[in-house]
């Protein structure tokens, strides 16, 4: 069984085997798309993602997207893949809560965290064996990221202040990746990736993996949608 703490080894293993590391997301709804789960259970979605070869699972627990904390424990109970809690994490107690509910990575959004507070949260994550998954969305935010090969940096293709209304097929992160100068464990392009063509361009640009949610949740066959991306020739 995969060690749930093994985010970076899991991503590295997928790459070594010739697959694109996909972090497949479970999200109840989207401001632009409405309901994304329908009559499926969390277990149904997880099974499809695993069948498609997803490397890790992201769970959106934020109320903004119809999420709740119980989605995290439900997911962790049905998979041995590493699990990310994706929410607006703003205090140390939420990190401990995330671990209690089964997460072994948490989203830390630079836009809403002062550099000094972000550093404290990263330190707690690492002390607890949780992988810090740091989201940045601008060149200025990247400047605050210090080199550490135990962290993951996700370059977002959306502005959280605009919800998901400004997604542009992943190309925001494509334009920003060269500005991330910190040496980190993995660089992820997050959100707004809707096709194998987008995915291929992002991987060729230097990303180590992709976080994908809406497009695979909407697919008629989510397992096939994930597989089409994981199996792209690198």
Condensed to tens digits (0 to 9), the pLDDT of residues 115-129 reads 999 999 999 999 999
pLDDT at 34: 93
Rounded average pLDDT over 22-40: 94
Q: Which CATH class is domain 7-230?
A: alpha beta
Mean predicted lDDT score pLDDT of the chain: 91
Rounded average pLDDT over 64-75: 95
Range 219-225 contact pairs with CB under 8 angstroms and sequence separation of 24 or more: 221/48, 222/24, 222/45, 222/48, 222/49, 222/52, 223/48, 223/49, 223/51, 223/52, 224/52, 225/52
The mean-pLDDT minimum among 39-53, 62-76, 169-183 falls in: 169-183
Using pLDDT thresholds of 50, 70 and 90, give the confidence band for residue 2. very low
pLDDT > 70 fraction of the chain, expressed in percent and rounded: 92
pLDDT tens-place string over residues 140-193: 999 989 999 999 999 998 766 555 544 454 578 999 999 999 999 999 999 889
Place of tokens 């977002």: 156
Is 87 in contact with 55 (CB distance < 8 Å)?
A: no
Q: Is the pTM of this model over 0.85?
A: yes
Residue 85 has pLDDT above 80, yes or no: yes
pLDDT at 30: 86
Using pLDDT thresholds of 50, 70 and 90, give the confidence band for residue 226. very high
For residue 98 the two structure tokens come to: 């995330």
- Domain ranges within the chain, ordered by starting residue: 7-230
């Amino acid at each position: 069984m995969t060690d749930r703490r093994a985010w970076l080894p899991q991503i590295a293993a997928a790459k070594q085997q010739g697959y694109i590391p996909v972090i497949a997301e479970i999200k109840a709804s989207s401001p632009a798309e409405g309901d994304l789960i329908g009559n499926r259970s969390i277990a149904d979605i997880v099974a499809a993602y695993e069948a498609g070869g997803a490397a890790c699972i992201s769970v959106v627990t934020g109320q903004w997207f119809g999420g709740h904390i119980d989605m995290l424990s439900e997911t962790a109970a049905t998979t041995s893949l590493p699990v990310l809690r994706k929410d607006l994490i703003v205090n140390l107690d939420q990190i401990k809560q995330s671990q209690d509910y089964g997460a072994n990575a948490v989203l830390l959004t630079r836009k809403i965290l002062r550099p000094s507070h972000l550093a404290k949260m990263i330190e707690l994550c690492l002390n607890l064996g949780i992988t810090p998954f740091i989201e940045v969305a601008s060149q200025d935010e990247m400047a605050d990221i210090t080199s550490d090969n135990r962290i993951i940096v996700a370059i977002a293709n959306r502005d959280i202040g605009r919800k998901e209304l400004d997604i542009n097929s992943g190309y925001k992160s494509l334009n920003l990746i060269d500005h991330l100068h910190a040496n980190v464990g993995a660089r992820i392009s997050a959100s707004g990736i809707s096709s194998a063509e987008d995915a291929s361009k992002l991987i060729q640009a230097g990303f180590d993996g992709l976080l994908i949610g809406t497009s695979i949740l909407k697919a008629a066959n989510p397992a096939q949608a994930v597989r089409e991306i994981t199996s792209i020739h690198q």
